[in-house]
Amino acid sequence: MARKLAVIGAGLMGSGIAQVSAQAGWDVVLRDVTDEALARGRGGIEASYEKFVAKGKLEAAAAEQALARITTTTDLEAVADADVVVEAVFEKIEVKREIFQSLDKIAKDGAVLASNTSAIPITKIAAATSRPERVVGTHFFSPVPMMQLCELVRGYKTSDETLAAAREFAESVGKTCIVVNRDVAGFVTTRLISALVVEAAKLYESGVATAEDIDIACKLGFGHAMGPLATADLTGIDILMHATENIYTETQDEKFAPPESMRRMVDAGDIGRKSGQGFYEH
């Protein structure tokens, strides 16, 4: 398998995917719309490699080589010779469809066109292209260098060959894959965490228990590494609420309707670790 990867979006997820792929030997082109976003993304990758080197988990020479494999650009045409293209932009269907329409014109025949969406049905994204059989979901988890999972999502028309190529890519960068065979909104992981976070937030909102005690219950009662409210703070309450709303819009299932307190937290900017305040103070 040729090893040229294009990543669209240099945010936390896109730069994380670029980082693990370059480290695994892929030549990576990282594309965003501004030089500032690209500089931030590249800076984050450098800092992450430095941490791994400092902890003795990565040789300094290997980090240097990996960094040299990453080129940044604002030009979408740079994806033309990529074997795999991973889109990792904001979770808005209109934005993603627009990108995939462009990728359809630019990407070479046979390229895997993947989306890192956590909740939007792949079929809806793929329908923007003339080659829906080449479109697949590759849902990585944050922070990408640390999290082991990649959720592969088969759209209504995704071919077996595309799914196999996506698995080969994800496994080559060190991830364990699960396959979502039916393209439901939220797939497997986002549906599970959304239902759990929404219920936890409702229990917290109605004063049944403190955030700490709800999380301790999940950790010690169910063996979870992290409780649902701490997970929401880490992921970003805004991001989780947005994903949950996508599932609710698609299913009209009340268990995915975010409670009012969660909406108010987002309105107020209390969105978790990145703002210093969420269900916990950070």
DSSP symbols for 223-238: --SS-HHHHHHHH-HH
255 within 8 A of 195, measured Cβ to Cβ: yes
118 annotated among ligand-binding-site residues: yes
- Euclidean distance between CA atoms 126 and 142, whole angstroms: 24
DSSP symbols for 119-159: SS-HHHHHTTSS-GGGEEEEEE-SSTTT--EEEEEE-TT--
Residue 108 has phi, psi (to 5 degrees) of -70, 160
b/e sequence 45-62, b meaning 16+ C-beta within 10 Å: beebbeebbeeeebeeee
E strands, the chain, in order: 4-8, 27-31, 70-73, 84-87, 112-115, 135-140, 149-154, 176-180
- Euclidean distance between CA atoms 149 and 213, whole angstroms: 27
> In a 3-state reduction of DSSP, which class is residue 175?
coil
- Euclidean distance between CA atoms 72 and 32, whole angstroms: 8
Q: Please give the single-letter amino acid code of residue 243.
A: A
Residue set of the binding site: 48, 55, 118
Residue set of the binding site for CoA: 48, 55, 118
